[in-house]
Structure 1
Amino acid sequence: MLIAHIPGALLGLLIGNIIDRNLAIKSWADLRTRLPVRAQPQLNAEQVLFMLLGHLAKSTGRVSAAHIQSARAEMQRLQLSAAAQKRAIAAFTQGKDCALTDLRSALRSHYAADKAEQLLTAGWRIAYAQGLATAKQRRILQRCADWLNYPAASFSRLEAQLMPTRLRPNSAGNELEAALQLLGVTRSTSLAQVKQAYRRKVSVHHPDKLMGAGAPPAQLRAATEKTRALHQAYALVRKHLQG
Protein backbone atom coordinates (compact mmCIF):
# COMPACT_ATOMS: atom_id res chain seq x y z
CA MET A 1 0.00 0.00 0.00
CA LEU A 2 2.89 2.31 0.76
CA ILE A 3 4.34 1.64 -2.72
CA ALA A 4 0.96 2.32 -4.30
CA HIS A 5 0.96 5.84 -2.84
CA ILE A 6 4.41 6.69 -4.26
CA PRO A 7 4.00 8.94 -7.35
CA GLY A 8 4.67 7.20 -10.65
CA ALA A 9 7.62 9.39 -11.56
CA LEU A 10 9.31 8.81 -8.24
CA LEU A 11 8.70 5.05 -8.51
CA GLY A 12 10.23 5.05 -11.98
CA LEU A 13 13.34 6.82 -10.74
CA LEU A 14 13.62 4.38 -7.86
CA ILE A 15 13.32 1.28 -10.08
CA GLY A 16 15.66 2.80 -12.67
CA ASN A 17 18.26 3.50 -10.00
CA ILE A 18 18.06 -0.09 -8.75
CA ILE A 19 18.42 -1.52 -12.30
CA ASP A 20 21.27 0.82 -13.14
CA ARG A 21 23.13 0.02 -9.92
CA ASN A 22 22.68 -3.75 -10.20
CA LEU A 23 23.03 -4.26 -13.96
CA ALA A 24 25.33 -1.33 -14.76
CA ILE A 25 23.14 -0.28 -17.73
CA LYS A 26 24.28 3.08 -19.07
CA SER A 27 22.04 3.60 -22.12
CA TRP A 28 19.02 2.30 -24.04
CA ALA A 29 21.38 0.65 -26.52
CA ASP A 30 23.06 -1.14 -23.62
CA LEU A 31 19.66 -2.28 -22.38
CA ARG A 32 18.72 -3.64 -25.81
CA THR A 33 21.88 -5.74 -25.94
CA ARG A 34 20.88 -7.37 -22.65
CA LEU A 35 17.35 -8.25 -23.73
CA PRO A 36 16.79 -11.79 -25.01
CA VAL A 37 17.17 -12.00 -28.81
CA ARG A 38 14.10 -13.16 -30.68
CA ALA A 39 14.87 -16.32 -32.63
CA GLN A 40 15.02 -15.76 -36.40
CA PRO A 41 12.65 -17.89 -38.49
CA GLN A 42 14.34 -20.89 -40.04
CA LEU A 43 14.94 -20.69 -43.77
CA ASN A 44 13.85 -23.59 -45.93
CA ALA A 45 15.97 -25.00 -48.76
CA GLU A 46 14.23 -22.96 -51.46
CA GLN A 47 14.69 -19.70 -49.57
CA VAL A 48 18.38 -20.41 -49.08
CA LEU A 49 18.76 -21.14 -52.78
CA PHE A 50 17.08 -17.90 -53.88
CA MET A 51 19.00 -15.83 -51.34
CA LEU A 52 22.18 -17.15 -52.92
CA LEU A 53 20.85 -16.35 -56.40
CA GLY A 54 20.04 -12.81 -55.31
CA HIS A 55 23.51 -12.45 -53.83
CA LEU A 56 25.12 -13.69 -57.07
CA ALA A 57 23.02 -11.34 -59.19
CA LYS A 58 23.77 -8.25 -57.08
CA SER A 59 27.50 -9.08 -56.99
CA THR A 60 27.75 -7.76 -60.58
CA GLY A 61 26.75 -4.32 -59.35
CA ARG A 62 23.13 -4.39 -60.41
CA VAL A 63 20.41 -6.98 -60.82
CA SER A 64 19.48 -7.13 -64.50
CA ALA A 65 16.39 -8.37 -66.32
CA ALA A 66 18.41 -11.42 -67.37
CA HIS A 67 19.07 -12.26 -63.71
CA ILE A 68 15.38 -11.97 -62.85
CA GLN A 69 14.42 -14.12 -65.83
CA SER A 70 16.94 -16.76 -64.77
CA ALA A 71 15.54 -16.77 -61.22
CA ARG A 72 11.99 -17.15 -62.52
CA ALA A 73 13.10 -20.03 -64.75
CA GLU A 74 14.52 -21.69 -61.62
CA MET A 75 11.12 -21.35 -59.91
CA GLN A 76 9.52 -23.11 -62.86
CA ARG A 77 12.08 -25.93 -62.74
CA LEU A 78 11.29 -26.43 -59.06
CA GLN A 79 7.55 -26.23 -59.81
CA LEU A 80 6.97 -23.83 -56.91
CA SER A 81 3.44 -23.01 -55.84
CA ALA A 82 2.22 -19.40 -55.90
CA ALA A 83 2.93 -19.06 -52.16
CA ALA A 84 6.38 -20.62 -52.52
CA GLN A 85 7.16 -18.26 -55.42
CA LYS A 86 6.36 -15.26 -53.22
CA ARG A 87 8.72 -16.58 -50.56
CA ALA A 88 11.39 -17.19 -53.22
CA ILE A 89 11.07 -13.63 -54.54
CA ALA A 90 11.35 -12.24 -51.01
CA ALA A 91 14.42 -14.41 -50.39
CA PHE A 92 16.01 -13.28 -53.68
CA THR A 93 15.51 -9.64 -52.64
CA GLN A 94 16.90 -10.33 -49.18
CA GLY A 95 19.92 -12.08 -50.67
CA LYS A 96 20.94 -8.96 -52.59
CA ASP A 97 21.93 -7.25 -49.34
CA CYS A 98 23.05 -10.16 -47.18
CA ALA A 99 26.62 -11.29 -46.58
CA LEU A 100 27.52 -14.66 -48.03
CA THR A 101 28.81 -15.86 -44.66
CA ASP A 102 25.31 -15.32 -43.23
CA LEU A 103 24.16 -18.20 -45.45
CA ARG A 104 26.90 -20.64 -44.54
CA SER A 105 25.10 -22.61 -41.80
CA ALA A 106 21.85 -22.65 -43.80
CA LEU A 107 23.68 -23.93 -46.88
CA ARG A 108 25.24 -26.74 -44.89
CA SER A 109 21.89 -27.66 -43.35
CA HIS A 110 19.99 -27.97 -46.63
CA TYR A 111 22.54 -28.70 -49.36
CA ALA A 112 25.10 -31.09 -47.96
CA ALA A 113 26.21 -34.21 -49.84
CA ASP A 114 24.11 -35.09 -52.89
CA LYS A 115 22.12 -31.81 -52.93
CA ALA A 116 25.17 -29.58 -53.31
CA GLU A 117 25.18 -29.99 -57.09
CA GLN A 118 21.57 -28.81 -57.31
CA LEU A 119 22.48 -25.57 -55.55
CA LEU A 120 25.65 -24.98 -57.58
CA THR A 121 23.86 -25.75 -60.85
CA ALA A 122 21.30 -23.01 -60.15
CA GLY A 123 24.13 -20.71 -59.12
CA TRP A 124 26.04 -21.21 -62.38
CA ARG A 125 22.87 -20.64 -64.40
CA ILE A 126 22.36 -17.20 -62.92
CA ALA A 127 26.09 -16.44 -63.13
CA TYR A 128 25.92 -17.09 -66.89
CA ALA A 129 22.67 -15.14 -67.32
CA GLN A 130 24.42 -12.07 -68.75
CA GLY A 131 27.27 -13.86 -70.48
CA LEU A 132 30.51 -15.06 -68.96
CA ALA A 133 30.47 -15.33 -65.18
CA THR A 134 32.47 -12.68 -63.35
CA ALA A 135 35.49 -13.56 -61.22
CA LYS A 136 33.52 -12.49 -58.13
CA GLN A 137 30.64 -14.83 -58.98
CA ARG A 138 33.06 -17.69 -59.43
CA ARG A 139 34.63 -16.96 -56.02
CA ILE A 140 31.18 -16.94 -54.40
CA LEU A 141 30.30 -20.31 -55.91
CA GLN A 142 33.72 -21.70 -55.05
CA ARG A 143 33.25 -20.77 -51.40
CA CYS A 144 29.85 -22.46 -51.37
CA ALA A 145 31.41 -25.58 -52.90
CA ASP A 146 34.14 -25.55 -50.24
CA TRP A 147 31.59 -25.23 -47.41
CA LEU A 148 29.65 -28.16 -48.83
CA ASN A 149 32.78 -30.28 -49.45
CA TYR A 150 31.95 -30.45 -53.14
CA PRO A 151 34.95 -31.91 -55.06
CA ALA A 152 37.07 -29.43 -57.02
CA ALA A 153 37.03 -31.62 -60.15
CA SER A 154 33.24 -31.79 -60.09
CA PHE A 155 33.06 -28.03 -59.58
CA SER A 156 35.16 -27.40 -62.72
CA ARG A 157 33.13 -29.94 -64.67
CA LEU A 158 29.88 -28.25 -63.67
CA GLU A 159 31.26 -24.84 -64.62
CA ALA A 160 32.20 -26.04 -68.12
CA GLN A 161 29.06 -28.10 -68.58
CA LEU A 162 26.68 -25.23 -67.79
CA MET A 163 28.52 -22.62 -69.86
CA PRO A 164 26.22 -21.60 -72.74
CA THR A 165 27.32 -23.00 -76.09
CA ARG A 166 27.78 -19.53 -77.55
CA LEU A 167 30.40 -18.75 -74.90
CA ARG A 168 32.49 -21.91 -75.25
CA PRO A 169 35.95 -21.48 -76.78
CA ASN A 170 35.31 -24.12 -79.45
CA SER A 171 31.80 -23.08 -80.39
CA ALA A 172 30.89 -22.69 -84.05
CA GLY A 173 30.58 -18.91 -83.71
CA ASN A 174 34.09 -18.54 -82.34
CA GLU A 175 35.49 -20.94 -84.95
CA LEU A 176 33.97 -18.81 -87.68
CA GLU A 177 35.49 -15.65 -86.24
CA ALA A 178 38.89 -17.33 -86.09
CA ALA A 179 38.54 -18.49 -89.71
CA LEU A 180 37.59 -15.00 -90.89
CA GLN A 181 40.54 -13.52 -89.06
CA LEU A 182 42.95 -16.07 -90.55
CA LEU A 183 41.78 -15.27 -94.09
CA GLY A 184 41.74 -11.54 -93.43
CA VAL A 185 38.07 -11.07 -94.32
CA THR A 186 34.80 -10.21 -92.53
CA ARG A 187 31.28 -11.61 -92.40
CA SER A 188 30.18 -9.06 -95.00
CA THR A 189 32.89 -10.04 -97.51
CA SER A 190 31.52 -11.66 -100.66
CA LEU A 191 32.29 -15.29 -101.46
CA ALA A 192 34.35 -14.25 -104.49
CA GLN A 193 36.48 -11.93 -102.36
CA VAL A 194 36.92 -14.65 -99.73
CA LYS A 195 38.11 -17.06 -102.42
CA GLN A 196 40.55 -14.49 -103.72
CA ALA A 197 41.94 -13.83 -100.21
CA TYR A 198 42.26 -17.58 -99.59
CA ARG A 199 44.21 -18.18 -102.82
CA ARG A 200 46.49 -15.25 -102.14
CA LYS A 201 47.41 -16.51 -98.68
CA VAL A 202 47.88 -20.10 -99.84
CA SER A 203 50.22 -18.93 -102.57
CA VAL A 204 52.36 -17.23 -99.96
CA HIS A 205 52.43 -20.03 -97.38
CA HIS A 206 52.32 -23.21 -99.51
CA PRO A 207 55.21 -25.56 -98.62
CA ASP A 208 55.95 -26.26 -102.31
CA LYS A 209 57.44 -22.78 -102.58
CA LEU A 210 59.83 -23.49 -99.75
CA MET A 211 60.99 -26.90 -100.92
CA GLY A 212 62.90 -25.50 -103.90
CA ALA A 213 64.53 -22.88 -101.69
CA GLY A 214 66.06 -25.50 -99.41
CA ALA A 215 64.03 -24.50 -96.35
CA PRO A 216 64.70 -26.47 -93.14
CA PRO A 217 62.21 -29.24 -92.12
CA ALA A 218 60.78 -27.18 -89.25
CA GLN A 219 59.87 -24.36 -91.62
CA LEU A 220 58.29 -26.81 -94.06
CA ARG A 221 56.18 -28.34 -91.29
CA ALA A 222 55.03 -24.87 -90.20
CA ALA A 223 54.09 -23.99 -93.78
CA THR A 224 52.18 -27.25 -94.16
CA GLU A 225 50.21 -26.59 -90.96
CA LYS A 226 49.49 -23.02 -92.04
CA THR A 227 48.22 -24.20 -95.44
CA ARG A 228 46.03 -26.85 -93.83
CA ALA A 229 44.57 -24.21 -91.49
CA LEU A 230 43.82 -21.98 -94.49
CA HIS A 231 42.03 -24.84 -96.27
CA GLN A 232 39.88 -25.49 -93.20
CA ALA A 233 39.16 -21.79 -92.68
CA TYR A 234 38.09 -21.34 -96.29
CA ALA A 235 35.81 -24.38 -96.14
CA LEU A 236 34.14 -23.08 -92.98
CA VAL A 237 33.65 -19.53 -94.28
CA ARG A 238 32.38 -20.77 -97.65
CA LYS A 239 29.85 -23.03 -95.90
CA HIS A 240 28.68 -20.08 -93.78
CA LEU A 241 28.28 -17.74 -96.77
CA GLN A 242 26.53 -20.35 -98.92
CA GLY A 243 24.23 -21.56 -96.15
Structure 2
Amino acid sequence: MLWPLTVAGVLLGGAVAGVSGGILGGVLGHALDRHWGLRRWSQLPAQLARWLGLRPDFNQVLFLCLGRMAKAHGRVTPQHLQLARELMQQYRLEEPQRLAAMADFNRGKQPTTRIERQLQRLCRQQPGRGAELLDGCWRMALVHGQPSAVALRLLEGWADLAGLSKAEQQRLRQRHQRHQRGSAAPVATGGGLQRAAALLGVDLDAEPAQIKRSYRRLLSRHHPDKLMSAGASEAELAAAGEQVHRIQQAYEKIRRYRGFR
Protein backbone atom coordinates (compact mmCIF):
# COMPACT_ATOMS: atom_id res chain seq x y z
CA MET A 1 0.00 0.00 0.00
CA LEU A 2 1.31 3.43 -0.94
CA TRP A 3 0.16 6.51 0.96
CA PRO A 4 0.67 9.28 -1.65
CA LEU A 5 0.42 12.36 0.57
CA THR A 6 2.56 10.68 3.23
CA VAL A 7 5.33 10.18 0.69
CA ALA A 8 4.86 13.71 -0.68
CA GLY A 9 4.94 15.17 2.84
CA VAL A 10 8.17 13.36 3.70
CA LEU A 11 9.88 14.47 0.50
CA LEU A 12 8.69 18.08 0.64
CA GLY A 13 9.28 18.48 4.38
CA GLY A 14 12.72 16.89 4.10
CA ALA A 15 13.67 19.18 1.24
CA VAL A 16 12.61 22.29 3.19
CA ALA A 17 13.65 21.48 6.77
CA GLY A 18 15.69 18.31 6.79
CA VAL A 19 14.89 15.26 8.90
CA SER A 20 12.53 17.03 11.32
CA GLY A 21 10.65 18.61 8.42
CA GLY A 22 10.38 15.22 6.72
CA ILE A 23 8.91 13.65 9.87
CA LEU A 24 6.40 16.48 10.31
CA GLY A 25 5.47 16.41 6.62
CA GLY A 26 4.97 12.65 6.76
CA VAL A 27 2.69 12.91 9.80
CA LEU A 28 0.55 15.63 8.20
CA GLY A 29 0.46 13.82 4.87
CA HIS A 30 -0.55 10.56 6.51
CA ALA A 31 -3.39 12.31 8.35
CA LEU A 32 -4.70 13.60 5.02
CA ASP A 33 -4.30 10.18 3.40
CA ARG A 34 -6.42 8.60 6.11
CA HIS A 35 -8.99 11.40 6.09
CA TRP A 36 -9.48 11.16 2.31
CA GLY A 37 -9.05 7.39 2.18
CA LEU A 38 -6.17 7.60 -0.32
CA ARG A 39 -4.27 4.41 -1.10
CA ARG A 40 -2.80 5.11 -4.55
CA TRP A 41 -1.44 8.05 -6.50
CA SER A 42 -4.19 7.54 -9.09
CA GLN A 43 -6.82 8.50 -6.48
CA LEU A 44 -5.22 11.86 -5.75
CA PRO A 45 -6.40 13.93 -8.79
CA ALA A 46 -10.06 13.03 -8.26
CA GLN A 47 -9.87 13.82 -4.55
CA LEU A 48 -8.20 17.17 -5.18
CA ALA A 49 -10.87 18.00 -7.77
CA ARG A 50 -13.60 17.21 -5.23
CA TRP A 51 -11.82 19.23 -2.53
CA LEU A 52 -11.59 22.23 -4.87
CA GLY A 53 -15.24 21.80 -5.89
CA LEU A 54 -14.38 21.05 -9.53
CA ARG A 55 -15.77 17.51 -9.42
CA PRO A 56 -18.29 17.32 -6.58
CA ASP A 57 -18.87 13.94 -4.99
CA PHE A 58 -22.52 12.94 -4.49
CA ASN A 59 -22.06 11.98 -0.85
CA GLN A 60 -20.18 15.20 -0.15
CA VAL A 61 -22.90 17.43 -1.60
CA LEU A 62 -25.67 15.33 -0.02
CA PHE A 63 -24.29 15.71 3.51
CA LEU A 64 -23.52 19.40 3.01
CA CYS A 65 -27.18 19.87 2.09
CA LEU A 66 -28.36 17.70 4.97
CA GLY A 67 -26.35 19.76 7.45
CA ARG A 68 -27.81 23.00 6.08
CA MET A 69 -31.33 21.51 6.15
CA ALA A 70 -30.96 20.36 9.77
CA LYS A 71 -29.74 23.83 10.78
CA ALA A 72 -32.72 25.41 8.98
CA HIS A 73 -34.87 24.36 11.95
CA GLY A 74 -32.87 26.54 14.34
CA ARG A 75 -30.76 23.89 16.02
CA VAL A 76 -29.55 20.43 15.14
CA THR A 77 -31.20 17.75 17.30
CA PRO A 78 -30.32 14.10 18.00
CA GLN A 79 -33.07 13.12 15.56
CA HIS A 80 -31.29 15.00 12.76
CA LEU A 81 -28.02 13.25 13.61
CA GLN A 82 -29.73 9.87 13.72
CA LEU A 83 -31.14 10.34 10.21
CA ALA A 84 -27.69 11.35 8.98
CA ARG A 85 -26.29 8.10 10.42
CA GLU A 86 -29.10 6.10 8.81
CA LEU A 87 -28.27 7.61 5.42
CA MET A 88 -24.60 6.76 5.91
CA GLN A 89 -25.66 3.19 6.50
CA GLN A 90 -28.02 3.26 3.51
CA TYR A 91 -25.15 4.31 1.24
CA ARG A 92 -22.82 1.75 2.82
CA LEU A 93 -20.19 4.30 3.77
CA GLU A 94 -17.06 2.85 5.32
CA GLU A 95 -15.42 4.42 8.36
CA PRO A 96 -13.25 7.01 6.51
CA GLN A 97 -16.24 7.93 4.35
CA ARG A 98 -18.45 8.25 7.44
CA LEU A 99 -15.97 10.63 9.04
CA ALA A 100 -15.83 12.69 5.85
CA ALA A 101 -19.65 12.71 5.61
CA MET A 102 -19.98 13.94 9.19
CA ALA A 103 -17.40 16.64 8.51
CA ASP A 104 -19.41 17.70 5.45
CA PHE A 105 -22.61 17.67 7.54
CA ASN A 106 -20.98 19.99 10.08
CA ARG A 107 -19.63 22.25 7.33
CA GLY A 108 -23.09 22.44 5.82
CA LYS A 109 -24.43 23.88 9.06
CA GLN A 110 -22.16 26.91 8.68
CA PRO A 111 -23.82 29.81 6.81
CA THR A 112 -20.49 30.70 5.17
CA THR A 113 -20.30 27.33 3.38
CA ARG A 114 -21.24 27.75 -0.27
CA ILE A 115 -23.41 24.79 -1.19
CA GLU A 116 -25.40 25.93 -4.22
CA ARG A 117 -22.50 26.07 -6.64
CA GLN A 118 -21.42 22.53 -5.78
CA LEU A 119 -25.01 21.28 -6.01
CA GLN A 120 -25.48 22.82 -9.43
CA ARG A 121 -22.17 21.44 -10.68
CA LEU A 122 -23.00 17.96 -9.37
CA CYS A 123 -26.40 17.92 -11.09
CA ARG A 124 -24.83 19.03 -14.37
CA GLN A 125 -22.28 16.21 -14.19
CA GLN A 126 -24.72 13.60 -12.82
CA PRO A 127 -28.18 14.81 -13.91
CA GLY A 128 -29.93 11.62 -12.85
CA ARG A 129 -29.17 12.08 -9.14
CA GLY A 130 -30.87 15.38 -8.41
CA ALA A 131 -34.15 13.78 -7.35
CA GLU A 132 -32.28 11.29 -5.16
CA LEU A 133 -30.45 14.10 -3.36
CA LEU A 134 -33.66 16.08 -2.83
CA ASP A 135 -35.31 12.94 -1.50
CA GLY A 136 -32.79 12.81 1.34
CA CYS A 137 -33.21 16.54 2.00
CA TRP A 138 -36.98 16.17 2.30
CA ARG A 139 -36.48 13.39 4.83
CA MET A 140 -34.26 15.70 6.89
CA ALA A 141 -36.74 18.59 6.56
CA LEU A 142 -39.57 16.46 7.96
CA VAL A 143 -37.71 15.00 10.96
CA HIS A 144 -39.82 17.06 13.37
CA GLY A 145 -43.01 17.28 11.34
CA GLN A 146 -43.72 20.17 9.01
CA PRO A 147 -40.62 21.82 7.50
CA SER A 148 -39.77 25.37 8.50
CA ALA A 149 -40.18 28.28 6.11
CA VAL A 150 -36.40 28.43 5.73
CA ALA A 151 -36.28 24.71 4.89
CA LEU A 152 -39.01 25.10 2.26
CA ARG A 153 -37.12 27.95 0.59
CA LEU A 154 -33.97 25.83 0.52
CA LEU A 155 -35.81 22.83 -0.94
CA GLU A 156 -37.40 24.92 -3.67
CA GLY A 157 -34.14 26.63 -4.58
CA TRP A 158 -32.15 23.39 -4.62
CA ALA A 159 -34.80 21.66 -6.75
CA ASP A 160 -34.50 24.47 -9.31
CA LEU A 161 -30.70 24.12 -9.33
CA ALA A 162 -31.07 20.33 -9.73
CA GLY A 163 -33.20 20.86 -12.82
CA LEU A 164 -36.41 19.36 -11.40
CA SER A 165 -39.57 20.57 -13.12
CA LYS A 166 -42.33 22.19 -11.06
CA ALA A 167 -44.43 19.05 -11.51
CA GLU A 168 -41.59 16.85 -10.21
CA GLN A 169 -41.06 19.15 -7.24
CA GLN A 170 -44.75 19.03 -6.37
CA ARG A 171 -44.87 15.24 -6.57
CA LEU A 172 -41.78 14.96 -4.39
CA ARG A 173 -43.35 17.24 -1.79
CA GLN A 174 -46.69 15.44 -1.84
CA ARG A 175 -45.08 12.01 -1.52
CA HIS A 176 -43.10 12.97 1.56
CA GLN A 177 -45.97 14.81 3.18
CA ARG A 178 -48.24 11.78 2.66
CA HIS A 179 -45.58 9.61 4.27
CA GLN A 180 -45.31 12.06 7.16
CA ARG A 181 -49.05 11.75 7.78
CA GLY A 182 -48.70 7.96 7.77
CA SER A 183 -50.88 7.35 4.70
CA ALA A 184 -48.13 5.90 2.54
CA ALA A 185 -45.09 3.71 3.14
CA PRO A 186 -41.70 5.14 2.17
CA VAL A 187 -40.77 4.00 -1.30
CA ALA A 188 -37.05 3.87 -0.50
CA THR A 189 -37.47 1.09 2.03
CA GLY A 190 -40.06 -1.02 0.17
CA GLY A 191 -39.00 -4.41 -1.17
CA GLY A 192 -35.65 -6.13 -1.36
CA LEU A 193 -32.94 -6.54 -3.93
CA GLN A 194 -34.82 -9.19 -5.88
CA ARG A 195 -37.88 -6.97 -6.08
CA ALA A 196 -35.72 -4.06 -7.24
CA ALA A 197 -34.20 -6.24 -9.97
CA ALA A 198 -37.67 -7.41 -11.04
CA LEU A 199 -38.83 -3.80 -11.30
CA LEU A 200 -35.93 -3.04 -13.63
CA GLY A 201 -36.54 -6.26 -15.58
CA VAL A 202 -33.03 -7.63 -15.02
CA ASP A 203 -31.35 -10.39 -13.04
CA LEU A 204 -29.59 -9.29 -9.87
CA ASP A 205 -26.28 -10.62 -11.22
CA ALA A 206 -26.68 -9.05 -14.69
CA GLU A 207 -23.84 -7.03 -16.19
CA PRO A 208 -23.78 -3.38 -15.03
CA ALA A 209 -24.13 -2.19 -18.64
CA GLN A 210 -27.34 -4.20 -19.03
CA ILE A 211 -28.74 -2.84 -15.76
CA LYS A 212 -27.96 0.73 -16.85
CA ARG A 213 -29.61 0.23 -20.25
CA SER A 214 -32.77 -1.15 -18.66
CA TYR A 215 -32.83 1.70 -16.14
CA ARG A 216 -32.52 4.40 -18.82
CA ARG A 217 -35.13 2.72 -21.02
CA LEU A 218 -37.65 2.60 -18.17
CA LEU A 219 -36.97 6.22 -17.19
CA SER A 220 -37.58 7.31 -20.76
CA ARG A 221 -40.79 5.29 -21.00
CA HIS A 222 -42.34 6.57 -17.77
CA HIS A 223 -40.98 10.11 -17.51
CA PRO A 224 -43.85 12.54 -16.76
CA ASP A 225 -42.54 15.22 -19.14
CA LYS A 226 -42.77 12.76 -22.04
CA LEU A 227 -46.30 11.74 -21.04
CA MET A 228 -47.31 15.37 -20.62
CA SER A 229 -46.39 16.10 -24.23
CA ALA A 230 -48.59 13.15 -25.22
CA GLY A 231 -51.59 14.67 -23.43
CA ALA A 232 -51.69 12.45 -20.33
CA SER A 233 -54.12 13.30 -17.52
CA GLU A 234 -53.05 14.61 -14.11
CA ALA A 235 -53.71 11.22 -12.55
CA GLU A 236 -51.55 9.50 -15.16
CA LEU A 237 -48.77 12.04 -14.62
CA ALA A 238 -48.88 11.52 -10.85
CA ALA A 239 -48.73 7.74 -11.30
CA ALA A 240 -45.82 8.12 -13.71
CA GLY A 241 -43.96 10.30 -11.20
CA GLU A 242 -44.34 7.64 -8.52
CA GLN A 243 -43.13 4.97 -10.94
CA VAL A 244 -40.07 7.00 -11.92
CA HIS A 245 -39.20 7.38 -8.25
CA ARG A 246 -39.54 3.62 -7.70
CA ILE A 247 -37.32 2.96 -10.71
CA GLN A 248 -34.67 5.37 -9.43
CA GLN A 249 -34.73 3.85 -5.95
CA ALA A 250 -34.53 0.31 -7.35
CA TYR A 251 -31.57 1.24 -9.53
CA GLU A 252 -29.71 2.92 -6.66
CA LYS A 253 -30.33 -0.07 -4.40
CA ILE A 254 -28.86 -2.47 -6.96
CA ARG A 255 -26.02 -0.09 -7.90
CA ARG A 256 -24.90 0.21 -4.27
CA TYR A 257 -25.22 -3.53 -3.71
CA ARG A 258 -23.21 -4.36 -6.83
CA GLY A 259 -20.72 -1.54 -6.29
CA PHE A 260 -20.71 0.05 -9.75
CA ARG A 261 -21.12 3.71 -10.70
| TM value normalised by structure 1 | 0.50
Greater length-normalized contact order (CA 8 Å, ≥ 6 residues apart) = 1
Scaled by the length of structure 2, what TM-score is found? 0.46
